[in-house]
Copies of this chain bind each other. A is one copy, B any other.
């Protein structure tokens, strides 16, 4: 059955790969599943047809036959559950990989998203400059703990998993901030994620949409 995902017609990041469709593209590339993309405009995202697919009016969504899903974590998990390559076979190792997915989304990403809100949504408020260091400190608390756990390992728990896919995707949001420079093992971890052929294909695919460049082949 054809897999169809949605993505921004024009991503707010201009193609840096931070829109969440990149995470789903990456997961599909890791497991070797072809997919189609339906682009949606900001206006269309808030209209009934899209809200029926995604109650919070966001991208990505995932359609496969009669199944329609939203929420990136759930979509990546669905892909990981059905195709080899993103979750270990051993039951305990699988549960730990899923743990890292949730940790990326519920523990590490929220303070990082708050930095984006502080800079973009509240960037022109009178408190912006004074408040920013507080927001960054809350991110550093998490990065310090994550760095201590990762140590010199390649991935968070054994081989690359959906947990790493999600954690790398979350850390990518910090790439332009310079904060990761203080955590060399996390910067190297991020680079390892970006170096994966599946990530590169996902990145190029979203970039082509945002720059209007046709993909080769």
Stretch at the interface among A2-10, A73-81, A188-196: A73-81
Which of A145-153, A179-187, A199-207, A209-217 is the interface stretch? A145-153
- Assembly CA distance A84 to B103 (angstroms): 25
Instruction: Place the interface of chain A in its size category.
Output: 35 or more
Interface members, chain A 77-104 (any B CB < 8 Å): 77-78, 92, 95-96, 98-99, 101-103
Nearest B residue to A97, CB-CB: B74
Determine which of B56, B66, B77, B117 lies in contact with A92 in the assembled complex, contact meaning CB atoms within 8 Å: B66
The closest CB in chain B to the CB of A67 belongs to B92
A174 within 8 A of B: no
Cα of A70 to Cα of B95 in the assembled complex, Å: 10
**Nearest Cβ on chain B to A139's Cβ, whole angstroms:** 13
Task: Give the one of A67, A99, A109 with max B CB within 10 A.
Answer: A99
Q: Is the CB of B127 within 8 A of A131?
A: yes
Known: A55-B145, A56-B145, A114-B114. A71 touches B125 (CB 8 A): no
Does B55 contact A148, Cβ atoms closer than 8 Å? yes
Min CB gap A158→B, angstroms? 14
Contacts of A126 in B (CB 8 A): 127, 130
A residues within 8 Å of B by Cβ?
51, 55-58, 66-67, 69-74, 77-78, 92, 95-96, 98-99, 101-103, 105-107, 109-110, 113-114, 117, 121-122, 125-127, 130-131, 134, 138, 142, 145-146, 148-149
Q: List 7 interface pairs A-B (beta carbons < 8 Å), by A numbering.
A: A55-B146, A70-B99, A71-B102, A72-B106, A73-B106, A74-B103, A78-B95
